[in-house]
């Protein structure tokens, strides 16, 4: 038996309605575990009474820890803050809305005891999500796997358990671009997948919108690959070659056949097409420049209001 304390990390942003149910389930599961647990909530700047509810639960439960962040930072950062503050020699990340069934924790722990370092849950069906979300998510992972050197598991969220070794590796990653799914793949180690059926949200509403998802997708691609930059270079070369060939055609037509000057439509097409291409290229370069800009400032990626532990 290697694991003596398991940290259960729950990032929570306006999850007041889910908390009682989640706590009840966690207590049931914790009672069946062969080790101690630490229930670590990260309050990600909730504007409802999530923090008060956590504090109320904490009064009667010494296993509860709450890291209260100074504002809302987003799930990725909240998870990082939790990993930094956890004291367990294994850690599992759970969503507060019970979409990640806590009943799977014993099986994940068994995986860690077997010697795996990263035991992740993968969804066998996502029938509670709309087809467009499923489809776009699939395309995102395909593209990410195709362009980056790390392999990112499809249909896998942040529902995972890490060994002490993997936790140590995650804590050593200091970049401010925190795409956790990519970082989990980036650290490597022995991984194991456990299938599960994802239920719909227990209560409350999802915090994601299309804009946030697009932001996450762009960050995922740009922080794990410079291939988009290379694609720009190749496109530039291809367009230049085509332009030279066309130039020769135009010259021959003008000099040998005495073509009268015309061609306003084709000139416009070429200018607009190239203008679009140049702006797209600048946009892609700008994304990478943005990463360098954020990274060079070396700003801490979260600030903690207070850490509440119930120790006596």
User: 20 vs 74, which CB is nearer to ligand UDP?
Assistant: 74
Looking only at Cα atoms, what is the longest distance across the chain?
96
Return the range that interacts with ligand UDP (CB under 6 A); candidates 7-15, 130-138, 257-265, 282-290.
7-15
Q: How far is CA 239 from the centre of its chain?
A: 35
Bridge partners for 28 per DSSP: none
* Angle CA 44–49–51, to nearest 5: 50
The answer to whether 99 contacts ligand UDP (rule: CB under 6 A) is: yes
Return the range that interacts with ligand UDP (CB under 6 A); candidates 11-19, 172-180, 215-223, 297-305.
11-19
The answer to whether 178 contacts ligand UDP (rule: CB under 6 A) is: no
Determine the Cα–Cα distance for residues 289 and 286; give it in Å rounded to an integer. Answer: 5
User: 142 vs 212, which CB is nearer to ligand UDP?
Assistant: 212
Q: Indicate the SS3 state at residue 300.
A: coil
**Which of ligand UDP, Mg ion, none does 100 bind, CB closer than 5 to 8 A by kind?**
none
**Which of Mg ion, ligand UDP, none does 15 bind, CB closer than 5 to 8 A by kind?**
ligand UDP
User: 157 vs 228, which CB is nearer to ligand UDP?
Assistant: 157
The angle, 0 to 180 degrees and rounded to 10, between the axes of the packed helices 264-297 and 227-255 is 160
- Tokens of residue 247, six digits: 């130039």
- Tokens of residue 307, six digits: 């850490």
Q: Which of 8, 40, 96, 186 binds ligand UDP (CB under 6 A)?
A: 96
Say if residues 12 and 48 touch (Cβ distance below 8 Å). Answer: no
Please provide the DSSP assignment of 168-230 as one string. HHHHH---S---HHHHHHHT---EEEEEEPPPPPSSS-----HHHHHHHHHHHHHHH--HHHH
Min dist CB 60 to ligand UDP, Å, is: 22
Binding site for Mg ion (CB under 5 A): 95, 97, 99
Q: Restricting to residues 189-218, name those near ligand UDP by CB under 6 A.
A: 206-208
The answer to whether 303 contacts ligand UDP (rule: CB under 6 A) is: no
Q: Which of 95, 123, 161, 182 binds ligand UDP (CB under 6 A)?
A: 95
User: 44 vs 89, which CB is nearer to ligand UDP?
Assistant: 44
């Amino acid at each position: 038996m290697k694991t003596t304390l398991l940290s259960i990390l729950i990032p929570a942003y306006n999850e007041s309605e889910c908390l009682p149910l989640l706590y009840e389930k966690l207590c049931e599961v914790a009672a069946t575990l062969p080790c101690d647990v630490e229930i670590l909530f990260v309050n990600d700047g909730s504007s409802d009474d999530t923090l008060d509810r956590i504090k109320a639960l904490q009064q009667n439960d010494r296993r509860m820890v709450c890291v209260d962040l100074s504002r809302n930072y987003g799930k990725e950062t909240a998870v990082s803050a939790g990993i930094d503050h956890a004291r367990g020699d294994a850690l599992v990340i759970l969503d507060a809305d019970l979409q990640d069934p806590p009943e799977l924790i014993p099986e994940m722990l068994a995986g860690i005891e077997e010697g795996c370092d990263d035991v992740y849950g993968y969804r066998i069906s996502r029938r509670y999500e709309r087809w467009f979300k499923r489809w776009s998510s699939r395309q995102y992972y395909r593209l990410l796997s195709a362009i980056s050197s790390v392999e990112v598991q499809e249909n896998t969220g942040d529902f995972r358990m890490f060994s002490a070794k993997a936790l140590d590796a995650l804590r050593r990653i200091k970049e401010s671009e925190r795409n956790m799914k990519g970082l989990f793949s980036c650290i490597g180690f022995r991984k194991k997948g456990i299938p599960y059926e994802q239920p719909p949200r227990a209560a409350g509403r999802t915090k994601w919108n299309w804009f946030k998802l697009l932001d996450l997708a762009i960050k995922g691609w740009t922080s794990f690959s410079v291939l988009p930059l290379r694609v720009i270079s190749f496109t530039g070369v291809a367009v230049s070659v085509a332009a030279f060939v066309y130039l020769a055609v135009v010259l021959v037509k003008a000099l040998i056949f005495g073509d009268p000057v015309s061609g306003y439509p084709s000139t416009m097409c070429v200018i607009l097409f190239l203008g679009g291409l140049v702006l797209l290229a600048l946009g892609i370069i700008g994304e990478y420049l943005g990463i360098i800009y954020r990274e060079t400032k070396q700003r801490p990626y979260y600030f903690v209001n207070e850490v509440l532990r119930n120790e006596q």
